[in-house]
Amino acid sequence: MAVDRVNEVKKYLHRADKTALGNFLGKLHPADIGFMFQDLEFEEKLSILSLLDFEKAGSVLSELDPGERSEILLSLEPELLSHIAEAIPSDEAADILSEVPEEKAEKTLELMEEEEAEDVEELMKYAPETAGGIMTPEFFSLSEETTVDEAILALRREKNVEMLSYLYVVSEDGNLSGVVSLRRLITADGDCRLKEIVNRDVITARTDVDQEEVARLVRKYDLRALAIVDEKGRLVGRVTVDDVMDVIEEEATEDIYKMVGTDDEELSKKSILNVSKLRLPWLLTSLVGGIIAATIMKSFNVTLENVIALAFFVPVIMGMGGNIGMQSSTIVVRGLATGRIDLGHIWGVLFREIRTGALMGLICGVAVGVAAHIFQGKVMLGVVVASSMFIAITVAAAVGALMPLLLKSFKIDPAIASGPFVTTANDITGLLIYFFLATSFIRYLG
Amino acid sequence: MAVDRVNEVKKYLHRADKTALGNFLGKLHPADIGFMFQDLEFEEKLSILSLLDFEKAGSVLSELDPGERSEILLSLEPELLSHIAEAIPSDEAADILSEVPEEKAEKTLELMEEEEAEDVEELMKYAPETAGGIMTPEFFSLSEETTVDEAILALRREKNVEMLSYLYVVSEDGNLSGVVSLRRLITADGDCRLKEIVNRDVITARTDVDQEEVARLVRKYDLRALAIVDEKGRLVGRVTVDDVMDVIEEEATEDIYKMVGTDDEELSKKSILNVSKLRLPWLLTSLVGGIIAATIMKSFNVTLENVIALAFFVPVIMGMGGNIGMQSSTIVVRGLATGRIDLGHIWGVLFREIRTGALMGLICGVAVGVAAHIFQGKVMLGVVVASSMFIAITVAAAVGALMPLLLKSFKIDPAIASGPFVTTANDITGLLIYFFLATSFIRYLG
């Protein structure tokens, strides 16, 4: 179906049949048009955008990956950009304008209606991954003294609201007193004043709160919109649940990509050179770890030459330590991200991971020890391999669980703990334990 | 703050001061009460639940991890369970009742109001991770001929609606004709009939659609609720955006946990034996891979004995292949989950990963080759190590990208491709390539 659509669009473009193309695009949702873009040439994308009305063109742009969007934005004139920015919600306009070169953004803002431009400029000041950066400054607020019937009338007159979830009620001095849900408004008595039905127990967040925290609040309390206030407690915007869905998905993707040492940007990068640049730091760390491992093995050359069979079990001991460490760190990283683990329970988590590690180390150690014994017919080789595996796995579980907790308590993103550093450290620790044990018991191994 | 709350609750419980405890709990959100449960004893949890009204007790239960909840549900009487199930939305009641033993669930359903019980029983028939399993069957629908004023009046009378987002409009024959948003309703003219303002272009999903697909639709089209229809096209329920937030988070967590061979259940398991059972299959696969690696090295015993230095580079060659394979598979798995990669673009993705793999293989190969040469003073050792690394990494990138795409096209969850099978396969392939090359050039290495 998606392929059919692309073919149909290409056919109209080829025939230069703007009317037919316009009609066809008119029936499509912006998300579907955006999805087609990955199969279109750059010039084709521009032709399509020029055929859409400003609002739809803006919505399509909002659907694109940042990389793809930047490329297109570079060829749009400030004149056109200003119309698009006026037609879409100002938070989306701010996102788009932060991606164009500064000079062009300024020109675009000058061409926009003053009030709209101010809103957008205000939003561009906030860091992108904060409450301020994802909020929309459009909200609908009324005074506490308004009656329900007046409020419904006022809502009927208001056209410029992206998506209404709550009606914000403000006190005389302009501070937020609470919210009234549309449902409450419709079901309340018409003469009732808003201050009588307002829910004062309202959860808010400041503009500088991290978007992850915003998502956690919305999810935890099942909110449809979170009121965002400035440092003085004045209502400045709101974050709606659809913004939060995007945050949840983005943050999860970010954490997953960090686990394998790459980045969300990866999919929007076109050149393999750029992709490689993203991934190489992680790989090179791992490579350096591998070269350190080689150096360690070289320094135990004599042990190895005496008992060549020791080499056979190097990969499995290093690998298993790395695996368990990654399990422990991932469990803790994700638990911290979803709020199921918090720093108040740090010792419980650590202790549990160590005990789990010890149990699995015991099982894996015995299994590999028996295999080593059968392999070489030497009991002591089995004992050395088994004990090394047991110690390496237990240490790896402890390090894996501890690292993200430590990073978090130092306010560093714990997700990097799932990356190569912990795995490499565990690999090398495992190797050292193995060769120390093997060298100590060398006389029983020969 | 969370700790203070727990201490306060424990204080009241210790004093058996039910009034003070009731007052204190009354001020807390169910999500906050649920969060405290991890620091309370089993008996304390039961005391708290017995002090809450049925609705709040039900909401607290809905907030708990499945493992923790099952334990509590076992000690609640059917009588109490039936009151709780009646007080909460029927989709939550169905979730809770599917977790109690069958006999008890039946008894509970018998004690419930007939209509409620039927709703809940109906929901329990759907598989938990489908549209039917996460939908709520409560929705508000009116005939096409209703006027806006009548609709608002009808809404005011309706109390039993969890959370209204859309008003569903049905035709004479009971089929869904479309939706009217509350905002559209409020802003429309009072005499207008619903059929004049209904949005007929409504996106629906069938009850048997996977919850991931439901989440994708809601997110893609920025819906506040998705209408769920049965096989005959009749409206049977809706999935709201807050259910979808949970799905997005759960699915991401599931994918992350699958990457390291464990499970979302892990955090709710209390005993380390149960946690180990979850993790062991993955570890044992890896362990078997390690023993296969040991067997391979043993079969190349002669080569190894001649050039012991070959052993030093086994860990780095195996490790790097595993790393790149995991990067490629993770990129593809996550891309498929978020919809940024689809099966229509399979060759483009594969080709890109292979080229990226080759470039990184070249860089890492040269780096490790130079290191090997410096290490041993033998040019050919460097060449063998470098070429093995290059080939191993390129193959690993191809396998890593291909596996999830293959699994997906066979309708198997691609996330398992990030697990141990691909990594283990890549480890062993890398090792084989290395030893074949080394054996072929053995006369230049000695």
pTM of the full structure: 0.80
Q: What is the CA radius of gyration of chain A?
A: 30
- Selected for mutation to probe chain B from A166, A278, A283 (highest B CB count within 10 Å) is A283
Tell whether A257 is covered by a domain: no
For B:65-84, CB contacts with A below 8 A are 65
Residues A106 and A157 in one domain: no
pLDDT tens column, A260-300: 888 777 766 668 888 888 888 888 888 999 999 999 999 99
A253 contacts B338? CB cut-off 8 A: yes
B248 contacts A220? CB cut-off 8 A: no
Is A364 in CB contact (< 8 Å) with chain B? yes
pLDDT tens column, A392-437: 999 999 999 998 888 888 888 887 766 777 888 888 999 999 999 9
Tell whether B222 is covered by a domain: yes
- Boundary of a domain, candidates A245, A280, A296: A245
Residues B83 and B157 in one domain: no
Partner residue facing B356 (CB), from A275, A301, A335: A275
- Boundary of a domain, candidates A179, A213, A245: A245
Tell whether B130 is covered by a domain: no
Residues A112 and A171 in one domain: no
- Selected for mutation to probe chain B from A64, A272, A300, A307 (highest B CB count within 10 Å) is A272
Tell whether B432 is covered by a domain: yes
pLDDT band, residue B170 (cuts 50/70/90): confident
Residues A308 and A206 in one domain: no
Partner residue facing A294 (CB), from B279, B313, B322: B313
CA gap A361, A320 in Å, rounded: 9
| Rounded average pLDDT over A31-42 | 88
What letter would DSSP give residue A424? Answer: H
CA gap B232, B48 in Å, rounded: 45
Tell whether A135 is covered by a domain: no
Is residue B205 within 8 Å of B217, Cβ to Cβ?
Answer: yes
Query: Long-range pairs for A342-345 at CB < 8 Å and ≥24 separation?
Result: A342/B2, A343/A405, A343/A408, A343/A409, A344/B2, A344/B3, A345/B38, A345/B39
pLDDT recorded at residue B152: 82
The CATH number of whichever domain residue B435 belongs to comes to: 1.10.357.20
Residues A269 and A362 in one domain: yes
Residues A312 and A427 in one domain: yes
The residue of chain B nearest to residue A393, with distances taken between CA atoms, is B283
Number of structural domains, chain A?
A: 3
pLDDT recorded at residue B211: 92
> Which chain B residues are within 8 Å of A224, Cβ to Cβ?
163, 224, 241-242
- Is the per-residue pLDDT at B160 higher than 60? no
The residue of chain B nearest to residue A34, with distances taken between CA atoms, is B220
Tell whether A387 is covered by a domain: yes
Tell whether A307 is covered by a domain: yes
pLDDT band, residue B164 (cuts 50/70/90): low
Is B305 in CB contact (< 8 Å) with chain A? yes
pLDDT tens column, B117-141: 998 998 999 988 899 999 988 788 8
A297 contacts B311? CB cut-off 8 A: yes
- Boundary of a domain, candidates A203, A218, A245: A245
Q: How far is A262 from chain B (nearest CA, A)?
A: 8
Residues B298 and B406 in one domain: yes
Q: B220: closest CA among B248, B197, B250, B249?
A: B248
- Is the per-residue pLDDT at B323 higher than 50? yes
Enter the ipTM. 0.80
Is residue A323 within 8 Å of B427, Cβ to Cβ?
Answer: no
Which strands, in side-by-side order, build the sheet including A225-229? A204-206, A225-229, A235-240
Q: Number of A:B CB contacts under 8 A?
A: 307
- Is the per-residue pLDDT at B27 higher than 70? yes
| Rounded average pLDDT over A34-58 | 90
For A:119-178, CB contacts with B below 8 A are 152, 155-156, 158-159, 161, 163-164
Tell whether B229 is covered by a domain: yes
> Each residue of A65-96: b (16+ CB within 10 Å) or e?
beebbeebbeebebebbbbbbbbbbbbbbbbb
pLDDT recorded at residue B270: 65
Is B421 in CB contact (< 8 Å) with chain A? no
pLDDT band, residue A446 (cuts 50/70/90): low
Residues A316 and A428 in one domain: yes
Residues B251 and B268 in one domain: no
Q: Which domain holds residue A157?
A: 141-245
The CATH number of whichever domain residue A19 belongs to comes to: 1.25.60.10
CA gap A422, A400 in Å, rounded: 7
- Is the per-residue pLDDT at B163 higher than 70? no
Length of chain B: 446
Residues B251 and B269 in one domain: no
pLDDT recorded at residue B162: 43
- Is the per-residue pLDDT at A161 higher than 50? no
- β B225-229/B235-240 pair status: antiparallel
| Rounded average pLDDT over A123-152 | 88
For B:199-218, CB contacts with A below 8 A are 218
Residues B219 and B187 in one domain: yes
The CATH number of whichever domain residue A165 belongs to comes to: 3.10.580.10
Residues A371 and A311 in one domain: yes
Partner residue facing A276 (CB), from B218, B297, B359: B359
